[in-house]
Amino acid sequence: FPVTIEPDHYKTVELGGLVIKAKIDHLPKDILLGALVHIAEQLELDQNCEIFFKQKGSLAFLETKDNKK
């Protein structure tokens, strides 16, 4: 039978996957949350941060695809 995943559960799994992809899943929860809060603050202060983070993330996804080949 098909398994249905609630949208909020899918988002949780997706975000966890990003933590693993970034290779920071070994860090304690308080450090991860602190880093995410810092990122949120930087995004509010500087619009260029969003561009930088997007480029960095896009490259990381490309590198992951290349490593799977």
- What pLDDT is attached to residue 69? 60
Residue 65 to residue 58: CA distance in whole angstroms: 11
pLDDT digits (tens, 9 = 90+) for 3-59: 787 888 889 999 999 999 999 999 999 999 999 999 999 999 998 999 999 999 999
Name the residue type at position 68. Answer: K
Name the residue type at position 7. Answer: P
5-39 burial string, b = 16+ CB within 10 Å, else e?
Answer: eeeeeeeeeeeeeeeeeeeeeeeeeeeeeeeeeee
For every residue of 18-35, DSSP letters joined together read HHHHTT-TTS-HHHHHHH
